[in-house]
Amino acid sequence: MSWAKDGAKLERVRSLMADEGLDALVVRAPDNVLYLTNFWGMKGYDACVFPRDGEPTLICLEASEEDAARTAWTQDVRFIRGYADDDPRPPFARTLDAAVDVARGYGRVGLELSLGTQAADRMVGEPTTFTKGWFDAFPEAADAAPLLARARAIKTEQEVARLRIANEIAADAMEYVRSRLEPGLAESQVAALWQGHVHGEGTARDDVELALPFSLVWAGRGIKTFTATGDLPVVEGEPVLFEIWVCADGYWADHTKNLVVGDLKPEYAELEAGLLEVYAAAIEGCSPGRSMAELDRNVRAGLDRMGYAGQPTHPICHGVGARAHEPPYPHQAADQGDFAAGLVLAIEPGVYWPGGGGLRVEDNFLITADGAEKLSAFPDGVVRCG
């Protein structure tokens, strides 16, 4: 999908580079390449050299020439060969050669030295990793990962528009499954319904080139803090939890939604009521000027009052953008400052019972001057089917 160059985003990066005395960034993570060039690569063999002044350079496979011409913001594109008859090395070795050549003309260079995770490329199945040679080639490089995290935290109007698209696709797929869920379906079959709709109908949209689905689906006692989708059956009266992600042309939605066939069993209904009360208070606490640390502290205190001390065992809030999980990560033991307008956050309190069962709720929220705006139209809590 071709988007107009997001000048506000790129100028923010350049301003931060000036503050830190960096002449150029050399990035390889697919989400950072996308962030700086609008090019979302197929195989993760791509890179970008982004100068503080002048035209960025995109490095990508020859096979991606048409994609780059259609989507990339930069006109300076260097192509590397996926197979070279005179070079037995893997393609990313030639990416490194090109990046070193382009970066040679700059003084102080920043590299993703402390990058912990990266988003998937479009192929996904075999993600590439950084080799030692990549880091050795820039021995004097500064760590640019914190700079990129700060730049990416505050979203531009274009980024919010792209996030809304991903949220719409996720919600549409939930409505599709809501009309088809029935007792006896296996968790994996339910996941396939949701994923198929995202990939098929999401990719068919006029404003999307590729929509990719990712999910964990758990039924009833299969609901746990973190486990794989299995084959437990949908049971009437017990919730089916969807931990779901949509990637639409590189921008993500991250939700946890719940469906039930029939009337929710009393123990789940009681848990839902308490959890939604804590969730509402959390959303209220995500307004500009409010403390990030207090959000984490208050959510956990609320769950403690419900009788679930120490829950959940996962973070309850994180950023969403060109990666499904990105900074900030509000934590009660860290002074990360206050919420600010322009952040997009996933808020996800949850409770899990010993032996299986429980609930989690999650949606994506844009922080505005007036508070937190929910980006998905699909309801929170446990939604009745039919």
Pick the last residue of a domain from 121, 152, 183. 152
Give the span between the Cα atoms of 206 and 1, in whole angstroms: 9
Q: What is the DSSP annotation of 297-318?
A: HHHHHHHHHTT-TT--SS-SEE
Q: Give domain status of residue 1, yes or no.
A: no
For residue range 189-209, list pLDDT tens digits in order.
Answer: 999 999 999 999 999 999 999
Collapsed DSSP state (helix, strand, coil) of residue 366: strand
DSSP type of residue 222:
G
Domain boundary among 152, 174, 190: 152
Examine the domain organization and report whether 229 and 147 are in the same domain: no
Read off the pLDDT of residues 75-117 as tens digits, 9 standing for 90 and up: 999 999 999 999 999 999 999 999 999 999 999 999 999 998 8
Token pair in block for residue 307: 């009788």
- Residue 135, domain extent: 7-152
Q: What distance in Å separates the CA atoms of residue 363 and residue 384, rounded to the nearest whole number?
A: 18
Residue 102's SS3 state is helix
Q: 80 with 201, same domain? A: no
Asked whether residue 386 carries a pLDDT value surpassing 90, the answer given is no
Structure-block tokens of residue 151? 């730049």
Model confidence at 241, pLDDT cuts 50, 70, 90, reads very high
Residue 109 has a pLDDT of 98
How confident is the prediction for the chain on average, in pLDDT? 96
Chain segment 333-378, per-residue pLDDT in tens: 998 899 999 999 999 999 999 999 999 999 999 999 999 999 999 9
Same domain, 140 and 277: no
Q: Is the pTM of this model over 0.85?
A: yes
- Per-residue confidence (pLDDT) for residue 1, from 0 to 100: 65
Residues 195 and 218 in one domain: yes
What tens digit of pLDDT does each residue of 142-156 get? 999 999 999 999 999
Count the domains in the chain: 2
pLDDT score of 253:
98
Cβ partners under 8 Å of residue 270, min gap 6: none
Residues 263 and 334 in one domain: yes
Assign 211 to helix, strand or coil. strand
Q: How far apart are CA 20 and CA 25, in angstroms?
A: 12
Q: Residue 358 domain-assigned?
A: yes
Any idea what DSSP says for residue 385?
A: P
Task: Kindly state whether residues 125 and 178 are assigned to the same domain.
Answer: no
Question: Do 105 and 214 sit in the same domain of this protein?
Answer: no
Tens digits of residue pLDDT in 288-327: 999 999 999 999 999 999 999 999 999 999 999 999 999 9
Does a structural domain hold residue 260?
A: yes
CATH number for the domain that contains residue 117 = 3.40.350.10
Look at residue 116 in the predicted model and tell me its pLDDT.
87
